[in-house]
């Protein structure tokens, strides 16, 4: 879990390379960013296969599949914590 911040650079739109910092930079240039942004992610395994263009595989690796069972309760707990921290008016932080 990371809490990225946008740097002050200029935004570039690249549909294959939009990391959290670039997304926040683009959002800022388009009119604003949320007060807080959290990103839950996993690092994909690199599969080297000359038959697969750019080594992109549209499936979860075995380690990631195993990690999902641990990640789901962590995400639920985080969501409960974030909802509990919300002000009464429904406006998120």
Predicted confidence (pLDDT) per residue in 50-69, tens digit: 676 666 666 778 888 888 88
pLDDT value for 77 = 93
Q: Which residue has the higher pLDDT, 80 or 62?
A: 80
Same domain membership, residue 32 and residue 7 = yes
How far, CA to CA in Å, does 60 sit from each of 6, 15, 67?
29, 21, 10
Q: Residue 19's pLDDT is what? A: 78
Q: How many domains does the chain have?
A: 2
CA distances, 1 to each of 20, 30, 48 (Å): 12, 25, 27
1 and 22: one domain?
A: yes
Asked if residues 68 and 60 have their Cβ atoms less than 8 Å apart, the reply is: yes
Query: Is the domain of 53 the same as that of 74?
Result: yes
Please name which of 12, 27, 16 lies closest in space to residue 56, comparing C-alpha atoms: 16
Note if the pTM is more than 0.85. no
Are 49 and 92 contained in the same domain? yes
List 39's β-bridge partners, or say none: 2
Scanning the chain, the segments in alpha helix (DSSP H) are 20-30, 62-84
Domain housing 79? 45-93
């Amino acid at each position: 879990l990371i809490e990225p911040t946008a740097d002050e650079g200029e935004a570039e739109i690249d549909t294959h390379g939009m990391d959290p910092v670039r997304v926040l930079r683009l959002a800022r240039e388009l009119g604003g960013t949320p007060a807080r942004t959290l990103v839950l992610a996993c690092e994909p395994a690199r599969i080297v296969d000359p038959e697969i263009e750019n080594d992109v595989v549209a499936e979860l690796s075995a380690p990631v599949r195993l990690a999902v069972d641990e990640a789901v309760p962590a995400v639920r707990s985080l969501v409960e914590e974030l909802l509990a921290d919300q002000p009464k008016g429904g406006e998120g932080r």
